[in-house]
Amino acid sequence: MLWLNVMRSNFSKTFIEMKRYLPNTISLIVTMYAVFLTMFFGISSFGNPETMDYSIQYSIVITIMWFIAVMAMQGIGYEINMEAIRGTLEQLYMSPAPAWFILFCRMLATIFINLIIYAVVLVAIMLTSKQWLNFDFITLIPLFLFLNLCMIGIGFMMAALALLFKQIGSFLQVAQFAFFGLVAVPVGFSPLFEFMPIVRAATMVRNSMIDGLTLIDFSGLDWILLIANALAYFVIGIVVYKLAEARAMQRGLLGKY
């Protein structure tokens, strides 16, 4: 019951904040749409006419996945940073629920609500480009589940840095461009990409939304590699965060900013 209350409270908190700071929410939508328009007009003006449809569809998918990946990566670190600025970070650790679980629930709430917003933007993008993607939700739901699980693990690693060093904004800005490359590159480009975060998940999402592959079209090995990659980064992220948390408590950093 405690964990259910934590989940419900954080969903309510996230929704209320997004509604209360509506201009920020609107700017998120406008920014995403503007990023796509820049790519769309670039492809339309300079792209190869023979592959233009595929290139536009490719840009739509990687734009959406990039925003989802960046949101999941930065979200927990941002929460740590804001709690420290408000002077409420220590209070977070006074809760009977573990701090990592509270942050995990906040991230789930943020992802869920933003996915609804992204779905609306995606429809607007497809109307603009007149390119329609495949939506096999039976396939896409587990793919996005493991994609986000992987990125939440990365987010906990970023939160570990935020606990210890407080200001990591510049590092996050560099990281988001790195993840744009990981979202765009196919996993088959190099065997090493199987060990990188999100690459396997992003490749399978593209194959489903652009090429129309379904749940059963992916091999058992594809699913095993996807699940193993997501769980590995999630567990490693939690472990790294817990180690940084212990270090921050030892050094008395929770109450400092």
Mind listing the pLDDT tens digit for each residue in 96-146?
888 888 888 888 888 888 888 888 888 888 888 787 888 888 999 999 999
Record the tokens describing residue 149, joined without a space.
């699980």
How many Å apart are CA 174 and CA 195, to the nearest integer? 20
Asked whether the beta carbons of 63 and 184 are under 8 A apart, the reply is: no
Written as one letter, the residue type at 226 is L
Residue 126, token pair as written in the block: 């497809």
Nearest 5°: phi and psi at 93?
Answer: -85, -5
Residue 255: its pLDDT value, please? 63
State CA 252 to chain mean position distance: 30
Helix (H, G, I), strand (E, B) or coil at 74: helix
Confidence of residue 256 (pLDDT cuts 50, 70, 90): low
Do residues 177 and 183 make contact, with C-beta atoms less than 8 angstroms apart? no
Query: Cβ atoms within 10 A of the Cβ of 88, count?
Result: 11
DSSP state of 97: S
pLDDT in tens, 54-85: 878 888 888 888 888 888 888 787 878 777 77
